[in-house]
Amino acid sequence: MTSCFVVFVLQMWPDNAHMSSHSREVLQGPPRYPIDLFHTGNIVKICAPMVRYSKLSFRTLVRKYNCDLCYTPMIVATDFVRSVKARNSEFTTNQGDHPLIVQFAAKEAQVLADAAHIISPFADGIDLNCGCPQRWAMTEGYGACLINKPELVQEMVRLVRNQVENPMFTVSIKIRIHDDLKRTVDLCQKAEAAGVSWITVHGRNVEERHQPVHYDAIKIIKQSMSIPVVANGDMKSLKDVEDIHQITGADGVMVARGLLANPAMFAGYEETPLHCIQHWIDIALEHGTPFTCFHHHLMYMLERITSKQEKKIFNVLSSTSAVLDYLRDNYGVK
């Protein structure tokens, strides 16, 4: 490793002991560009940004089962820019964790551009969250309230494009739809004009939670754009992925809860196979995944497999050793 490389990392990320070994591996690895995925002719299969869940260990798991592209959980850009401690606690990666998109919550163009500049040596692109409907995010000016500020979104995309030197570094946005779809199309076209790489559309409005997804709206948006569009919402099997691709014409699909329940979904499994559970155990133990996260993922994975009585027993287990014993005794998973 050259001395100039070490200096570069320290300048970009002061005191980054947590990141240094991982980050240096990433920069030495072969380049893999997310935008190229959209030119293969295949549906791009994406793991969604999920608070607490789409961290390195889970991304490592789904990549074993035909997931093409992974997002980090949403990170508040202001905290990320200001605090090395926040960076180290919110973001971890390694050599195999590519292609990777880091999703940010932001409401100021320069702050987002600064966050993108900091993360650019370690990831393949950033995504601006314009879809989170949670009250705290909306109150702070983040998430889905940005769909009502198309000029601000346009400015943020343009500034990242102008200030990150790597031309292959992508800038995407994830949105919800308006009741008046013309407003959504206008937002998307403004983002496209600013240089956005692709747009992920969650086919619900800000008020909708579990109502049916408006796939027809995603289709209209796709027909209005010349850049890739990714469909998001209520996909629970590979058949759903293929059906929604046919309905919407979207270039890719992004899945959240479906992958939590079955991380092997993109590989065509109808429920989580036991070897996937074994992979999760191995990965989680290797990465030092906190017990709560380790256990919660298994609760999701076993949802379609276990009986109500089994769930009652498994869900109250309180240690890694108890979980491992249970899985060994009941499923032969070591």
Burial grade of 72 (CB within 10 A; 0-12, 13-18, 19 or more) = buried
The catalytic residue among 70, 130, 132, 188 is 132
Which of helix, strand or coil describes residue 76?
strand
Burial grade of 96 (CB within 10 A; 0-12, 13-18, 19 or more) = middle
Is residue 232 within 8 A of residue 203, CB to CB? The reply is yes
Burial grade of 308 (CB within 10 A; 0-12, 13-18, 19 or more) = exposed
Residue 240 makes CB contacts below 8 A (sequence gap 6+) with 234, 258
Count of CB atoms situated within 10 Å of the CB of 163: 15
Pick the closest to residue 137 from 217, 76, 71 (CA basis): 76
Q: Is 1 annotated as a binding residue?
A: no
With vertex at residue 222, the alpha carbon angle to CA 185 and CA 206, rounded to the nearest 5 degrees, is: 50
Pick the closest to residue 197 from 255, 116, 296, 299 (CA basis): 116
Count of CB atoms situated within 10 Å of the CB of 253: 26
82 vs 218: CA distance, rounded Å? 36
Q: Is 49 annotated as a binding residue?
A: yes
Whether 130 is catalytic: no
Q: Is 301 annotated as a binding residue?
A: no
Q: Is 51 annotated as a binding residue?
A: yes
Q: Is 202 annotated as a binding residue?
A: yes
Give the chain's radius of gyration (CA, Å). Answer: 20
Binding residues: 49-51, 103, 202, 256-257
Annotated binding-site residue numbers for FMN: 49-51, 103, 202, 256-257
Positions annotated as catalytic residues are: 132
